[in-house]
Amino acid sequence: MLRQLIKDLRLAPLRSALTGLSMLIGIVAVILAVLAGTIGKDYLVAINEQLYGRTPLVTVSMNSPRLSDADDFSRLADAIAAKNHETAIILNLDTDITFSPGTQSSGGIKGDVVATTPGYSSIYNLPMKSGRWYAGGERSTASIVVNLAAEQNLPKDSTAYAKTNQTTIATPFTVTGVVNDGRTDPTIYVNAQALTQYMRIVSRSATILWLDFPQLGKQRVRTVVEDILFDSIGGSVSGVQTIDNAQSYESVITVMQIAFGVCAILLLFVSAIGIVNIGLASLESRTHELLVRRALGATRASLIGLVIGSQLIIGLSVSLLAVAISACAVGALPAFLPSYSPLQPPAFPLAAAIAAVSAALATSIIGSLVPAIRAARLQPALALR
């Protein structure tokens, strides 16, 4: 039977090729449409995490006169990290700090200076272009990380010299890495623990970033921070805020996925119509052949199996080819993304591939069913005309 089906397909190679091409376009289009929707969703989430942090995020504003002391600040940082390792402290500096690539530089790099603890990189989506983020055990290491906009003046492994308005001697800091933070202005991330140790700075307030997993709620986080302050360096909490920007783009993601899903269904529907049309057209050209087979003793069931079986062989072959092409496209996608892109390479949409292949095979059966029934109804006596 299989040999007969393959031989039957070889009798009309152009017809078989057109049927397979129509099906191939439909399957690949469905997989790529779903993949495009997934990439769009992941991109929005990645950009949001890059600029505003992962969610749910609780920010705690606090005040303490002892934040500028190196030992006290380290004690506070250790106590908070012991409660939740996905936390960071950002010092609100009352002292202006400028970084320059040389000790004799008159100006300094114009940009933002973020004095924060190492956990900052776990709060935000900050892919490294080169080097590394300063580690938690490097509190005594004078290190900074710069973003892409500041890399030109402070490349990796270079030395940046920090000064304040009250100091005349510059303090050297090593650039340990270059990060993609999504900002267009130069930004320097300095190890806050080393900053309090090596430079005289004034900081009476700070912001604690608390990634709320498992979710405690902002009131519970406030209580925990107040207890830590009471047991460590003293101070007070001035405000607590929950930052969750997911709702701002969830509606966009929903609309995007619906749009791509509708496009995928329409593409598959167009492919199905093409298969039906090709099947009906081939039946017209094969009418005499099928009549002769019927007159020579072929049963109606064998004619139905011949027509449907041919379409199924094409469907199975094309489905494997379509999945292979789609897998290659997904595998090649990381080559078009920079290594420091906030967007992670997407996984192959296996569920979409299974659905597309199943729908294509079902379309092959349904699309060939009408021609098969019409072929079975042919009367052998017509072959004598």
Which three-class secondary structure state does DSSP give residue 131? strand
The total of other beta-carbon atoms located within 10 Å of residue 92's CB is 14
Pairwise pLDDT comparison (90 vs 345), residue with the higher score: 90
Does residue 65 contact residue 173 with C-beta atoms inside 8 Å? no
**Is a pLDDT exceeding 60 seen at residue 49?**
yes
Give me the residue label for tokens 């080169």: 130
- How much of the chain exceeds pLDDT 70, in percent? 79
* Highest mean pLDDT, choosing among 135-139, 157-161, 294-298: 157-161
Q: What is the mean pLDDT of residues 15-40?
A: 77
Q: Per the structure block, which two tokens stand in for 347?
A: 């996984």
- H helices within 53-191, ranges in order? 70-83, 120-123
Pairwise pLDDT comparison (293 vs 351), residue with the higher score: 351
DSSP secondary structure letters along 334-379: GGGS-TT-SSPPPPP-HHHHHHHHHHHHHHHHHHHHHHHHHHHT--
Q: pLDDT tens digits for 151-192?
A: 999 999 999 999 887 777 888 999 999 999 999 999 999 999
pLDDT tier at 35, thresholds 50, 70, 90? confident
Distance between the two ends of the chain, CA-based, in angstroms?
A: 29
Q: What is the mean pLDDT of residues 346-360?
A: 80
Identify the weakest region by mean pLDDT among 60-64, 325-329, 381-385.
Answer: 381-385
Pairwise pLDDT comparison (55 vs 248), residue with the higher score: 55
**Is a pLDDT exceeding 60 seen at residue 194?**
yes
Q: What is the mean pLDDT of residues 357-363?
A: 77
Q: pLDDT tens digits for 234-285?
A: 999 999 998 876 666 667 767 777 777 777 777 777 777 776 676 666 666 6
Which domains are delineated in the chain?
A: 2-50+248-384 (no CATH), 56-91+202-243 (3.30.70.100), 95-186 (no CATH)
Cis peptide before 342 (omega within 30 of 0): no
pTM for this prediction: 0.76
- Give the pLDDT score at 381: 58
Identify the weakest region by mean pLDDT among 63-77, 269-283, 349-363.
Answer: 269-283
- Give the pLDDT score at 96: 86
Q: What is the mean pLDDT of residues 314-328?
A: 84
C-alpha–C-alpha distance, residues 18 and 11, integer Å: 14
**Is a pLDDT exceeding 60 seen at residue 383?**
no
Give me the residue label for tokens 């003046």: 153
Q: What is the mean pLDDT of residues 355-378?
A: 72
Does residue 151 contact residue 113 with C-beta atoms inside 8 Å? no
pLDDT tier at 17, thresholds 50, 70, 90? confident
Pick the closest to residue 31 from 363, 360, 362 (CA basis): 360
Pairwise pLDDT comparison (284 vs 92), residue with the higher score: 92
Q: DSSP state, 111?
A: S
- DSSP lists the bridge partners of residue 206 as 62, 91
